[in-house]
C-alpha cells in the first residue's frame, strides 16, 4: 500500500437516485486507502439526489426499527476489547477533584495505588449519546431538508458523547504516546498538540513524542522523534504553524505499523483531514490485524470545514476572520478606484464554506462563487455581465471566489500533488484576466485588483473561538484513547463533543447545500443572481 495524499476532492456530487453508493477512492496523506460502503440512501427531493446512509425498504412497516439498528451498528465505536476480550480496565487516573499538586513520585504509582475518587461526578457514561440532527423537517421541500423517506419521518440518530470515562484500558506508566500532524498548515495545530500533551500528563503519562514532518517521520532516518512535555509545549499555541512540522506523502501502512511496534508506541494521535483520517483508519485496521494493543485517534484538521457530521472543524473560524482583511482590502481598492473591481480567492477545494461565511461576515462582497454551484463567466446571465451592471449602478464591485470554484472553465492539468490531490487551475487569476479582457472589449474602463491571501491565512495563530475548540478536541482525543477506543475521531456535533467511527466521516467531503438557509442568507447579503 503506497503513501498518497489527502482525499480525492473530485468527489463533489452525490450519486443519482437509485444508484449504489460504492467504494470511494480515498488517497490518504499517508496511504492509498478506500472506504467500503453499503448501498445507502436518504431521500432529498430538493436536489433529486441521495445522501449516503443505509438503503431501506420503506414498504417494510418495521423499517424505522431496522434503520435504528443499522445506524447503531455503523456508529458503534471500535474498542480494544473487540480484539482483546479479556483486556482488564482500571479506575481512571483522571480526576479533577485533586486540590494539591502531584509530586513526581505520585506519577510512578503502580496499578494498585491509583488514587480514585468515587464521589467525583465528572465522568461520561459509555451510554451517553448526542443527537446528530435536531431539526424536524415537515416537508422535503423545506430549505435544507434531508429526509430519510418522502414523508420526512422524524428519525432520531444518536452518536457517542466524548469525554473522560470512569474506567480506562491503559496504565499510564505503560503508555508511549505519539502525535503526528499531516497535510497542510492550519490555524490551531499547536493548540491541539499542546492540549494532548497536557492531558496525557494529567493521566500520568511520561513518554510522549512528536513524529516530525507527518508520516515521513516514521521512515526518514534523518528525522528523530521530538520529546514532548508540558514544559516543551507550554507556549507553542502563541504562534501559528506546527511545532512538529507537516508534510504530504510518506511510507506505507505496513511500514508505519512496523515503526509503531519498534518504538513501543501504543497511542497514536493523528491530526489531519479526510485523507489523513483514511490513513489513520488503515493504521488502526493493520494494528487490529496484527493484534497490537494500540489506540489510533484522529483529530479532524481541515481549514475548509469539509468533514461530514460536524458543526465545524478547527481553523475554520480563524480562516473566516483572517479572510476579512483580504476582502476589506479588495473593497477599499475597488471603492477608491474609478470602476474598481476587487477579486479575492479563498481556500475551499470542494467546499465553499470559507467563501460563503467570509462573504456573509464582511458585508462587502457583491459576488460569491463556490465549488458546489456551477456558473458562467460570459453570456447575458454570466458573472461579467453582472459586474458591468454593478459598475453602472454602484461604481465598484467585490468578487469572492473559492479555489475549487469554476474548475470546469479552466484547462484540466491531471497533475496531482504529493497528497494525491488534483492540482487546480487558478480560478482567481483566470477571473482577473477574463474581466480585464471583457471590459476592454465592451469599451468600459475597469480597474481590476486581485488578492490571494491563502498562505497568510493558513499560517496565523488560532483565534479565541478556535483556541477553545482545539483545547477541547485535544482533551477528548486523550480521553477516547484511555477509554480504549481506536479508529475514531472527535468532533463538535450540535454544540456537544462526540466520537465518530472514522469511515463514517470520510466517505466524501461535506458540501454547502445550495438549498440551505445559510447559502440563502449569503445570496440575500450579496444580492447576486444565478449565473447560469
The cell for 225 is 522523534
Nearest to 487 by CA among 294, 249, 250: 294
Q: Where is 321: in which H helix or E strand?
A: helix 316-336
φ and ψ of 72, to 5 deg: -60, -45
Provide the pLDDT confidence category of residue 226 given band limits of 50, 70 and 90: very high
Instruction: Out of 304, 366, 452, 466, pick the active-site residue.
Output: 304
| Total Cβ atoms within 10 A of residue 255 | 17
Mean of pLDDT over the chain: 87
Q: Are strands 32-35 and 158-161 parallel, antiparallel or unpaired?
A: unpaired
Q: Which CATH superfamily is domain 316-460 in?
A: Phosphofructokinase domain (3.40.50.460)
**Are the C-beta atoms of residues 400 and 369 closer than 8 Å to each other?**
yes
Which residue ranges make up the annotated binding site?
184, 248-249, 273-276, 302-304, 347-349, 403, 455-458
Average pLDDT over residues 114-135: 83
CA distance 318 to 453: 13
| The pLDDT of residue 292 is above 70 | yes
Average pLDDT over residues 142-165: 93
Q: Are strands 340-346 and 447-451 parallel, antiparallel or unpaired?
A: parallel
Nearest to 306 by CA among 348, 369, 361: 348
In eight-state DSSP terms, residue 183 is: S
Which residue ranges make up the annotated binding site for Mg(2+)?
274
Sign of CA dihedral 365, 519, 130, 186: negative
Provide the pLDDT confidence category of residue 422 given band limits of 50, 70 and 90: confident
* Residues linked to residue 159 through DSSP beta bridges, in sequence order: 130
Provide the pLDDT confidence category of residue 97 given band limits of 50, 70 and 90: confident
The cell for 496 is 456537544
Question: For the segment 1-52, what is each residue's pLDDT rounded down to a tens digit?
Answer: 444 433 333 223 233 322 322 333 333 333 433 333 333 334 443 333 334 4
**Which residue reads 510518506 in cell numbers?**
250
Can you name the CATH fold of 62-102+123-309+462-508?
Rossmann fold (3.40.50)
Is 191 labeled as catalytic in the residue annotation? no
| Total Cβ atoms within 10 A of residue 249 | 19
Question: For the segment 203-213, what is each residue's pLDDT rounded down to a tens digit?
Answer: 999 999 999 99
Tally the C-alpha atoms within 13 A of residue 484's C-alpha that lie toward its C-beta: 22
CA distance 31 to 173: 31
The domain segmentation of the chain, as residue ranges, is 62-102+123-309+462-508, 316-460
| The pLDDT of residue 300 is above 90 | yes
Q: What is the full DSSP assignment across 373-419?
A: S---SSSTTSHHHHHHHHHHHHS-EEEEEETTTTGGGSPP---B-TT
Which residue ranges make up the annotated binding site for substrate?
302-304, 347-349, 403, 455-458
Q: What is the full DSSP assignment across 448-473?
A: EEEE--HHHHHTSPP-HHHHHHHHHH
Nearest to 161 by CA among 491, 399, 448, 405: 491
pLDDT of residue 411: 83
Percent of the chain with pLDDT strictly greater than 70? 85
CA distance 55 to 14: 15
**Are the C-beta atoms of residues 283 and 439 closer than 8 Å to each other?**
no
Comparing 364 with 115, the larger pLDDT belongs to 364
Question: For the segment 243-256, what is each residue's pLDDT rounded down to a tens digit?
Answer: 999 988 788 999 99
For 265: left if phi > 0, alpha if psi spans -120 to 50, otherwise beta; the answer is beta
| The pLDDT of residue 123 is above 70 | yes
**Are the C-beta atoms of residues 154 and 246 closer than 8 Å to each other?**
no
Are 62-102+123-309+462-508 and 316-460 the same fold in CATH?
A: yes
In eight-state DSSP terms, residue 405 is: T
CA distance 319 to 287: 36
Amino acid at each position: 500500500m503506497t503513501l498518497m495524499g489527502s482525499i480525492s476532492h473530485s468527489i463533489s456530487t452525490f450519486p443519482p437516485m437509485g444508484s449504489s453508493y460504492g467504494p470511494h477512492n480515498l488517497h490518504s496523506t499517508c496511504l492509498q486507502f478506500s472506504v467500503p460502503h453499503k448501498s445507502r440512501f436518504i431521500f432529498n427531493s430538493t436536489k433529486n439526489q441521495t445522501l449516503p446512509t443505509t438503503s431501506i425498504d420503506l414498504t417494510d412497516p418495521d423499517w424505522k426499527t431496522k434503520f435504528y439498528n443499522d445506524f447503531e451498528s455503523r456508529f458503534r465505536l471500535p474498542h480494544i476489547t473487540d480484539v482483546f476480550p479479556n483486556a482488564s480496565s482500571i479506575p481512571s487516573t483522571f480526576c479533577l477533584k485533586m486540590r494539591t499538586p502531584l509530586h513526581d513520585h505520585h506519577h510512578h504509582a503502580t496499578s494498585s495505588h491509583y488514587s480514585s475518587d468515587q464521589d467525583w461526578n465528572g465522568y461520561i457514561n459509555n451510554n451517553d449519546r448526542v443527537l446528530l440532527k435536531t431539526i424536524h423537517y415537515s416537508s422535503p421541500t423545506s430549505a435544507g431538508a434531508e429526509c430519510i423517506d418522502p414523508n420526512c419521518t422524524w428519525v432520531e440518530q444518536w452518536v457517542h458523547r466524548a469525554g473522560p470515562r470512569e474506567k480506562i484500558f491503559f496504565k499510564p506508566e505503560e503508555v508511549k504516546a505519539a502525535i503526528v500532524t499531516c497535510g497542510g498548515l492550519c490555524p490551531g495545530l499547536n493548540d491541539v498538540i499542546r492540549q494532548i500533551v497536557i492531558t496525557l500528563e494529567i493521566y500520568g503519562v511520561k513518554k510522549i513524542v512528536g513524529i516530525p514532518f507527518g508520516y515521513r517521520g516514521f521512515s526518514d532516518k534523518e528525522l528523530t522523534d521530538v520529546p514532548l512535555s508540558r514544559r516543551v509545549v507550554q507556549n507553542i499555541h502563541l504562534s501559528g504553524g506546527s511545532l512538529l512540522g507537516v508534510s504530504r506523502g510518506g511510507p506505507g501502512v505496513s511500514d508505519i505499523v512496523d515503526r509503531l511496534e519498534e518504538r513501543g508506541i501504543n497511542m497514536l494521535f493523528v491530526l489531519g483531514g479526510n485523507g489523513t483520517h483514511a490513513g489513520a483508519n488503515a493504521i488502526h485496521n493493520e494494528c487490529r490485524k496484527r493484534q497490537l494493543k494500540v489506540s489510533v485517534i484522529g483529530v479532524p484538521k481541515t481549514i475548509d470545514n469539509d468533514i461530514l457530521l460536524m458543526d465545524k472543524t478547527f481553523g475554520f473560524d480563524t480562516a473566516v476572520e483572517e479572510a476579512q482583511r483580504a476582502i476589506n482590502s479588495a473593497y477599499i481598492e475597488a471603492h477608491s478606484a474609478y470602476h474598481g473591481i476587487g477579486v479575492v480567492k479563498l481556500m475551499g477545494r470542494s467546499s465553499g464554506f470559507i467563501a460563503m461565511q467570509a462573504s456573509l461576515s464582511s458585508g462587502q462582497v457583491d459576488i460569491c462563487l463556490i465549488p458546489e454551484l456551477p456558473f458562467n463567466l460570459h453570456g447575458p446571465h454570466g458573472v461579467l455581465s453582472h459586474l458591468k451592471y454593478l459598475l453602472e449602478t454602484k461604481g465598484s464591485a467585490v468578487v469572492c471566489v473559492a479555489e475549487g470554484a469554476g474548475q470546469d472553465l479552466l484547462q484540466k492539468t491531471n497533475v496531482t500533488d504529493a497528497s494525491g490531490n488534483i492540482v487546480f487551475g487558478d480560478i482567481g487569476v483566470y477571473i482577473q484576466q477574463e474581466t480585464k479582457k471583457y471590459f476592454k472589449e465592451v469599451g468600459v474602463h475597469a480597474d481590476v485588483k486581485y488578492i490571494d491571501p491563502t498562505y497568510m491565512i493558513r499560517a496565523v495563530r488560532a483565534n479565541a473561538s478556535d483556541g477553545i475548540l482545539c483545547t477541547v478536541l485535544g482533551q477528548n482525543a486523550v480521553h477516547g484513547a484511555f477509554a480504549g477506543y481506536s479508529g475514531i475521531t472527535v468532533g463538535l456535533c450540535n454544540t456537544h463533543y462526540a466520537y465518530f467511527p472514522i469511515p463514517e466521516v470520510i466517505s466524501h467531503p461535506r458540501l454547502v447545500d445550495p438549498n440551505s438557509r445559510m447559502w440563502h442568507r449569503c445570496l440575500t447579503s450579496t444580492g447576486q443572481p444565478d449565473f447560469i
